[in-house]
Amino acid sequence: MHRSISDRLLRLGGPEIQPLARAYQTMTGAIYESVRGMGWVVGSALSLGATVAQRRGPVPFLWNAGPGSRVQAIANGVWGDHFVGIDSPLSIEMAFRDRDGGSMDAELVAIGSNFVRPGRRLAVLIHGLAETEAIWRNALVGDGEDSGLAASLTVDGFTPLLLRYNTGCLISENGRALAALLDRVTAAWPAPIDEIALVGNSMGGLVARSALQEGRDRRLGWSTAVQRLVTVGSPHLGSPLEKLAAGASRALRFAPETRPLSQFLESRSEGIKDLHSGAINDDEAQADGFTEHFVSLQPSGVEQHFIAGVVTANVDHPVGKVVGDLIVRAASATGSGRVRSVEAKESVVLGGRRHFDLAGDPDVIAQIREWLSPLPAADGF
């Protein structure tokens, strides 16, 4: 962008200043090449670290937990689809994770191993964009480790399965991958499965809905065990920030000076672009718009529950309605649109909340536990 602006300004000076212009362009070009070179060095170092970690096998290393896992999660959120395209070791492979962040293959999960007690009620917890499963482990207010939703659901009789995945990929791709993973896990589960609950934070709620639809379409056995699906701050009708990014990218591409900014915005991952409309399947992802009054019904036999947050204490405050939780508006998180809606049995909007605090919020955890409490037995004859 700097080169586009400087070229135009220097041309206005006429032939007299062209020697100076060439010297200036040579100098600034060297500076930008140095910056790009440093970026290449950093990227290469990260890739090398990922390769070493991959070769060392399942030992805890670099990306499993802590700052390394957060860096990898953010990188996957922004460029994850590109990582897949070049087969980069930085790409996160979808898997359930143990308490140390280590990847568990389907067989280890299925036999229980040392990671989970194989119960009859499973809770699949799915994080959001650029996050890891760590969001489910700790509450905002609690006793440190294991004070979050995962520990609470364990007390309630669930076996929590904490997913980590590449959030830069299409939501429909992650939905298909999760459906296949759950099919492998449940096929070998050592105990009868009475119920599966799907809980998704932000993008994770869309992945949960996509996986369930994929499971039902393919008639996978696990999908019939799903009775409740809960989403937290999920953009069912899209995110205003992604819509803003898409609009800005289109506007910036027309002028040579701003075209590099447009190209930068366009480099965001397909997963982020999916948040424009909240698409959960290939048909929606490829559509330019939606039919008026389109309603996505609850899957048969499944109760859907949605939680939304707004930054204002009063959930009806105009500012809260406009900015939502700073990332997702309440209308989108509850699936309540004028031209498109997503059916839910119950929705709750909480005031004074920010998007990235919702998963560990004590009131959110309490609400999810209430919704996932055992269903009353059917009347007999």
Residue 154 domain-assigned (yes or no)? yes
Percent of the chain with pLDDT over 70: 75
Q: 72 falls in which pLDDT band (50, 70, 90)?
A: very high
Looking up residue 130, the CATH number of its domain turns out to be 3.40.50.1820
> Are residue 272 and residue 125 in the same domain, yes or no?
yes
- What pLDDT, on the 0 to 100 scale, is given for residue 32? 43
pLDDT in tens, 241-286: 888 877 777 887 777 777 777 777 777 899 999 999 898 877 665 6
pLDDT in tens, 116-167: 578 999 999 999 999 999 999 988 876 566 789 999 999 999 999 999 999 9
Domains: count for the chain: 2
Residue 61 domain-assigned (yes or no)? no
Average pLDDT estimate for 186-200 = 94
Which pTM value belongs to this model?
0.83
Which domain, by its residues, includes 47? 2-56
- What pLDDT, on the 0 to 100 scale, is given for residue 93? 95
Instruction: Compute CA 256 distance to the chain's CA centroid, rounded to the nearest angstrom.
Output: 33
Instruction: Of 60-69, 99-108, 217-226, give the range with the top mean pLDDT.
Output: 217-226
> Are residue 103 and residue 15 in the same domain, yes or no?
no
Which of 20, 38, 56 marks a domain boundary? 56
> Are residue 182 and residue 76 in the same domain, yes or no?
yes
Which of 56, 83, 100 marks a domain boundary? 56
Residue 134 domain-assigned (yes or no)? yes
- What pLDDT, on the 0 to 100 scale, is given for residue 141? 73
Residue 246 domain-assigned (yes or no)? yes
> Are residue 125 and residue 223 in the same domain, yes or no?
yes
Whether pLDDT at 369 is above 70: yes
Average pLDDT estimate for 61-89 = 90
* Stretch among 79-88, 102-111, 298-307 having the lowest mean pLDDT: 102-111
> Are residue 122 and residue 76 in the same domain, yes or no?
yes
Which of 56, 78, 97 marks a domain boundary? 56
> Are residue 124 and residue 172 in the same domain, yes or no?
yes
Residue 378 domain-assigned (yes or no)? no
Residue 140 domain-assigned (yes or no)? yes
Average pLDDT estimate for 81-93 = 94
- What pLDDT, on the 0 to 100 scale, is given for residue 173? 96
Residue 381 domain-assigned (yes or no)? no
> Are residue 162 and residue 222 in the same domain, yes or no?
yes
> Are residue 22 and residue 120 in the same domain, yes or no?
no
- What pLDDT, on the 0 to 100 scale, is given for residue 46? 56
Average pLDDT estimate for 357-374 = 97
Residue 139 domain-assigned (yes or no)? yes
Q: 2 falls in which pLDDT band (50, 70, 90)?
A: very low
> Are residue 24 and residue 128 in the same domain, yes or no?
no
* Stretch among 41-45, 86-90, 223-227, 270-274 having the lowest mean pLDDT: 41-45
> Are residue 148 and residue 120 in the same domain, yes or no?
yes
> Are residue 20 and residue 100 in the same domain, yes or no?
no
> Are residue 312 and residue 348 in the same domain, yes or no?
yes
